[in-house]
Every structure is written in structure tokens, then in C-alpha cells.
Amino acid sequence: MVDIDQSVKVYYEQVELSEAQQQLLLAMRKDVVGSSGICKASLRKRASIFSVAAAASVMLVITLLVFRYSGELVISERVAQEIAMNHNKALAVEYQGDNYQVLSLDMDKLDFNLQAPQKIVDDVFTVTGARYCSIQGKIAAQVKLTDKKGRIYTLYQTRLSKEFDAIKNSSVQHADVRIRLWKESAILYGLAVENEQ
């Protein structure tokens, strides 16, 4: 007879996150908490106590500028990394449709209307379907597109929120995936495609 408890234990013990997923989660920690293990929000509160001294103020301004710049890089990199991961999963679409309007009607859990981004020329790409996903914990849509050569692209849309303020229109390379990030009418877009061999 099978020992159910032991089998269940062994089954779950062999399940592990991939190295890429672990790296992503550890990077999130580094970004939010910092290497000291104390939340950056707490550190900022403490820093304000000492900010009365003029010299410290100057230092603080410099620090904040550096922090802002690195924060900008970190959030873009994190979003790109997450998009690359979603792209590589190549999960099947949950909703079939050849245009954004139809998909938007089906995907009523989204807190924004799915729309055709102006940066993407309609006659270059064909929409094949979409599924729900998340970007930095925010609900998002992953739209599957193909170009005229049959290459598969995934387009991500999520509502712009404060967390994404620092993201600039940019192109990021993550492993074999090229990701373009941009903002348009209160939506953050990400377009991912594998590099051509």
C-alpha cells in the first residue's frame, strides 16, 4: 500500500522554483528592503531625524538623486525580467480573439480597457489571443501577437501606477528576450520577443 503522507511529502520536496525565479524574488527583496535587511521606508524615516544639519541635507539630496536613478534602473529591470519570464513560459491564451476590443470585452477582470497601442502598427502584427498575468503584483494582460514572418511576440498591458513612475521608454535585453517598455495613455506597455537566431 502507498504511504500517502510520505508520498505527498516527497512529491512537494522535489518541487523547486527555477534559478531565474529565485533570482527575481531576491532582486525584489534587494530593491524594496536593501541589503541591510531593514525596509527602505524605515530607513528614510530614521534619516529624516538627522536631516536638520545642513551638511547632512546636502548628502541626503545627493543620496536621493542616486537612489532615484538606481530605483529607475531597478524597476525597469525588474519589470523586464518579469516580462521575459512570462514570455518564456509560453503559456496558452485563455481568450481567443483577433482584436483588442473583443479581448477587452472578455477580460472583464482588468481594471483598464485593453487597447491597441499607437506604437504598434496594426498591419504588422496579428492578434491571436490573450490571458491574464501580473506585473509587479498588478493585474495585467498578456496579448499574443505574430508578425508577418510568424514570429511570436507577447505584449503586456497594465494600468500605470505609482510604482511604474520611474520607468522610462526603453529597450531592455534580458537573456534571449528583447523587451521594449513604454507608456501610453495611462497604460504601461511591454513588448517581448526572442532574439532572432
Partner 1 sequence: MPCASVALRDLLNQGYRYALALCHDESRAQDLLQEAWLALLQANGPQEKGYLFRAIRSRYLNLIKREQLVVMVPLEEGLDAEDAGEKHEWDTLADMQELAQALDKLRPVEREALYLYAAEGYTAEEISRHMDQPRGTVLSLIQRARAKMKRWLKLQEVKHG
Residue 74: CB atoms within 10 Å: 17
DSSP 8-state secondary structure symbol assigned to residue 53: S
Nearer to partner 1, 17 or 64 (CB): 17
Contact between 66 and partner 1 per CB under 8 A: no
Q: Which residues are 171's β-sheet partners?
A: 180
Site for partner 1 in 83-142 (CB under 8 A): 89, 91, 109, 133-134, 136-137
Stretch touching partner 1 by CB under 8 A, among 6-14, 96-104, 121-129, 175-183: 6-14
Return the number of the residue (138 or 183) whose C-beta is nearest partner 1. 138
* Interface region with partner 1, contact rule CB under 8 A, candidates 33-41, 63-71, 146-154, 176-184: 33-41
Distance CA 36, CA 38 (A): 5
Closer to partner 1 by CB, 133 or 145: give it.
133
To partner 1, the closest distance from the beta carbon of 7 in angstroms equals: 4
Q: Site for partner 1 (CB under 8 A): which residue of 33, 56, 73, 166?
A: 33
Is there binding between residue 59 and partner 1 (CB under 8 A)?
no
Q: How far apart are CA 193 and CA 32, in angstroms?
A: 28
96 strand-pairing partners: 129
105-127 burial code (b ≥16 CB/10 A, e <16): eebeebebebeebeebeeeebeb
User: How many Cβ atoms are within 10 Å of 177's Cβ, its own excluded?
Assistant: 20
Q: Which residues bind partner 1 (CB under 8 A)?
A: 1-17, 21-22, 24-26, 28-29, 32-33, 38-39, 41-42, 82, 89, 91, 109, 133-134, 136-137
